[in-house]
Amino acid sequence: MSLSDTSDADGERASEYQSVYVYEAPVRLWHWVNAFSIVTLALTGYFIGSPLPAMAGEASAHFLMGYIRFTHFVAGQSLVAVLLLRIYWAFVGNVHARQIFYVPFWSGRFWSEWLHDVRWYTFLAGKALKYPGHNPLSQFVMFLMFTLPLAFMIITGFALYSEGVGRDSWEYALFGWVFSIWPNSQDVHTFHRLGMWGILIFVMIHIYVAVREDIISRQSIVSSMISGERLSKRKED
């Protein structure tokens, strides 16, 4: 943990904030590429599931849905590429880089602090417990509502993609087993689309909580994913 005490222009007072470097550059890069990919996938995926009305004229003159599908595939493969790098960084980065990949179910302290966080977010606790990285509740929610659903979306997405490229493709070799569970590919489409809505709900909650914590808990959340530093006010007003 590093502390930064800086003075104002007149050198009369020290900073009221404590600074801790939390999110390393690869984590921040992954976060923003991941966010852009998810928005792109959601938009294009929606139109793939609910195509635009047919346009007049020769079909050869229109390739809009083809471009939408292509953009969806590129965004999906980009998502997987940065996720693989993110998994690698979970092993070589700092302790905060691996928080979203597990939940310490065995820790009594974790659940005690998790319960306090629940009370804090429901306005039943008067003061937030401050953590350099994710608090126990956010770690729990990130794992169950983001990491696991993201893995599900990648698996089902590549399974659906393998139908187009054929049974002799590496995509089908790795993900074709999905159709052993759901032989009707329309079921896979349905679950994949429901997963999209689940992740979008998580994104809305994630943005709300980040902005809320920036305002109420007196510590930086949004800017931390830009600078990497978590600023926390030393004394509450």
Structure confidence by residue, pLDDT tens digits, 162-219: 998 999 999 999 999 999 999 999 999 999 999 999 999 999 999 999 998 888 887 8
Structure confidence by residue, pLDDT tens digits, 190-202: 999 999 999 999 9
pTM of the model: 0.85
- pLDDT above 50 for 22: yes
Superfamily of domain 20-53+62-233: Transmembrane di-heme cytochromes, Chain C (1.20.950.20)
Instruction: Please enumerate in sequence order all residues whose Cβ is within 8 A of that of 233, keeping only pairs 6 or more positions apart, or say none.
Output: 16, 17, 18, 218, 219
Cα-Cα end-to-end distance for the chain? 24
Give the residue from 147, 116, 146 showing the smallest Cα distance to 131: 116
CA distances (Å), origin 184, targets 89, 159, 179, 189, 237: 37, 12, 7, 9, 59
CA distances (Å), origin 98, targets 11, 38, 93, 103, 132: 39, 21, 8, 10, 13
